[in-house]
């Protein structure tokens, strides 16, 4: 089989901060032991199939710019799918990251009817299994594309037409089984079309009930086939629809609670989705971790000047460090990881650009990880937070939280004990300085 990424002749390796080689990691050192565990096993990095191999570099105004011969019109679709997979596994192996993620339609083309679509998927899952066996690359998560085909224009699970719901259910059944067969660590549902374009034609509560029914069916099937991975919902506030029901982590959390799905689904938090929702990535991660729904991360970044999902490679240690501080402060990943849901800019047309994007993003992530672990080891934030809330461990805090307390009993205490709270500094600037000092210190 012909090599595709011919400029990259050797696998990308860790060469340390002083290397001048653009095709080397400066910080990401898979074997480095941090807090008793290899860096690779902490970070669980995955490359996504869709942006890297299944997207030609098109946008709403322009055609594909990228060199992806398997996407050329007129090719034999199954041969093209195998060629695409050869290039993908060549890339994963040369980059040296342990995982990948895919949608059903990324790896196998639609057939003339659904029976043929399923048989295409099975054939390509066989081919994927061979490739995984040959290279040792593993599957972080699989998912179903329930948004590209016109049949899903009005939604998948939330479509007003139950036939679209049924079709989506069929697709998830096969994608979940494919994920299970490939030893996937988890399974993702991103509800790209689960929302509305206009309220004029929408029964909002009906659609929420449909979505909950769908998720219960998926959870039941997961148990039935013995899939031990976690199920993730990926929140996003809008795009492609005007409003998406899985708006952000707090919205998903409320939905899971309302429909008795807590413990079945966790969240896959994407950096650029968090910022689209008007939050920071740090906010979304902290909300999920503290409420027990954190699962996985789609690593990328947005552009502060425009309001859509630009899916750029992460390049800000400042942005990632604080979120990683929350993730690893709570013990890190169970079945999730860092999936690079990232795409090249349309003008990045050299094949090797895909390496540069991933190398920079992975080094940024690794650096943020080291800073976060340093902050955790020194208890910089954890101690400041603990001290700030220490009153709640005292007699008054314990009384307020106990079943014995009432508004009356608390009011009496204020009078009897002469309670008169003194304002205390939040020390925000001091903490900001400490974070910056940890970032500036040489961690690598």
Q: Which residues are catalytic?
A: 103, 106
Structure tokens at 302: 């947005």
Beta strands in 149-264 (DSSP E): 186-189, 195-196, 230-233, 243-244
Smallest separation, CB 295 to ligand XUL (Å): 13
User: Does 127 help bind ligand XUL (rule: CB under 6 A)?
Assistant: no
Structure tokens at 72: 């050329």
The 8-class DSSP code of residue 280 comes to -
Smallest separation, CB 273 to ligand XUL (Å): 6
- Residues 329/294, Cβ–Cβ less than 8 Å: no
Site for Co ion in 280-299 (CB under 5 A): 298
User: Does 341 help bind Co ion (rule: CB under 5 A)?
Assistant: yes
- Residues 146/104, Cβ–Cβ less than 8 Å: no
Instruction: Please give the backbone phi and psi of residue 59, each rounded to the nearest 5 degrees, phi first.
Output: -135, -175
Residues 6+ apart with CB under 8 A from 115: none
Among the residue ranges 28-36, 341-349, 374-382, 431-439, the one whose residues contact Co ion (CB under 5 A): 341-349
Smallest separation, CB 267 to ligand XUL (Å): 12
Binding residues for ligand XUL, total number by CB under 6 A: 11
Smallest separation, CB 297 to ligand XUL (Å): 11
User: Does 248 help bind Co ion (rule: CB under 5 A)?
Assistant: no
Taking CA atoms, 267 is separated from 5, 99, 401, in Å, by: 34, 19, 30
Helix, strand or coil, per DSSP, at residue 169: helix
When binding is defined by CB under 6 A, the residue of 40, 194, 264, 298 that contacts ligand XUL is 298
When binding is defined by CB under 5 A, the residue of 90, 264, 270, 326 that contacts Co ion is 270
User: Does 141 help bind ligand XUL (rule: CB under 6 A)?
Assistant: no
Site string for ligand XUL, 232-251 (x = CB under 6 A): --x-x---------------
Site string for ligand XUL, 185-224 (x = CB under 6 A): ---x-x----------------------------------
Residues 6+ apart with CB under 8 A from 440: none
Angle at 62 between CA 59 and CA 63, to 5 degrees: 95
Smallest separation, CB 240 to ligand XUL (Å): 9
Q: Report the first-to-last Cα separation within the chain, whole angstroms.
A: 38
For ligand XUL, the closer CB: 264 or 309 = 309
Residue matched to tokens 């139950």: 162
DSSP H helices, 226-309, are 249-258, 271-276, 281-290
User: Does 270 help bind ligand XUL (rule: CB under 6 A)?
Assistant: yes
Structure tokens at 11: 């696998």
Among the residue ranges 6-14, 179-187, 223-231, 262-270, the one whose residues contact Co ion (CB under 5 A): 262-270
Q: Which residues bind ligand XUL (CB under 6 A)?
A: 50, 103, 143, 188, 190, 234, 236, 270, 298, 309, 341
């Amino acid at each position: 089989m012909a090599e595709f990424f011919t400029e990259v002749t050797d696998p990308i390796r860790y060469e340390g901060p002083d290397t001048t080689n653009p095709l080397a990691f400066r910080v990401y050192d898979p074997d480095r032991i941090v807090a008793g565990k290899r860096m690779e096993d902490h970070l669980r990095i995955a490359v996504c199939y869709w942006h890297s191999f299944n997207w030609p570099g098109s946008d709403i105004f322009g055609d594909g710019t990228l060199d992806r011969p398997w996407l050329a019109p007129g090719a034999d679709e199954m041969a093209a799918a195998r060629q695409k997979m050869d290039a993908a596994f060549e890339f994963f192996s040369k980059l040296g990251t342990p995982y990948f993620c895919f949608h059903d339609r990324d790896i196998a083309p639609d057939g003339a009817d659904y029976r043929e679509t399923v048989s295409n998927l099975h054939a390509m899952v066989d081919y994927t299994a061979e490739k995984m066996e040959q290279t040792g690359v593993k599957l972080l998560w699989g998912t179903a594309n329930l948004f590209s085909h016109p049949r899903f224009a009005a939604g998948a699970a939330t479509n007003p037409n139950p036939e679209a719901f049924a079709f989506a259910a069929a697709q998830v059944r096969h994608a979940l089984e494919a994920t299970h067969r490939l030893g996937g660590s988890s399974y993702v549902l991103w509800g790209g079309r689960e929302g509305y374009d206009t309220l004029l034609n929408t029964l909002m509560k009906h659609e929420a009930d449909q979505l909950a029914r769908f998720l219960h069916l998926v959870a039941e099937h997961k148990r039935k086939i013995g899939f031990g991975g976690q199920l993730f919902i990926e929140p996003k506030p809008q795009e492609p629809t005007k409003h998406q029901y899985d708006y952000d982590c707090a919205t998903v959390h409320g939905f899971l609670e309302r429909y008795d799905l807590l413990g079945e689904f966790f969240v896959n938090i994407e950096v650029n989705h968090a910022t689209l929702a008007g939050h920071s990535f740090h906010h979304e991660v902290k909300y999920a971790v503290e409420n027990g729904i954190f699962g996985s991360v789609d690593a990328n970044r947005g552009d502060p000047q425009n309001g859509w999902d630009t899916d750029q490679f992460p390049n800000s240690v400042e942005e990632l460090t604080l979120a990683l501080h929350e993730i690893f402060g709570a013990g890190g990943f169970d079945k999730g990881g860092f999936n690079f849901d990232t795409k090249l800019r349309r003008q990045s047309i050299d094949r090797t650009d895909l390496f540069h994007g991933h190398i920079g993003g992975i080094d940024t992530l690794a650096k943020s990880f080291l800073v976060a672990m340093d902050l955790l080891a020194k208890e910089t934030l954890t101690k400041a937070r603990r001290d700030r809330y220490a009153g709640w461990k005292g007699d008054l805090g314990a009384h307020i939280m106990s079943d014995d307390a009432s508004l009356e009993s608390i009011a009496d205490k204020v009078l009897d004990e002469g309670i008169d709270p003194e304002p205390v500094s939040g020390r925000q600037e001091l903490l900001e300085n400490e974070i910056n000092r940890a970032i500036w210190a040489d961690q690598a």
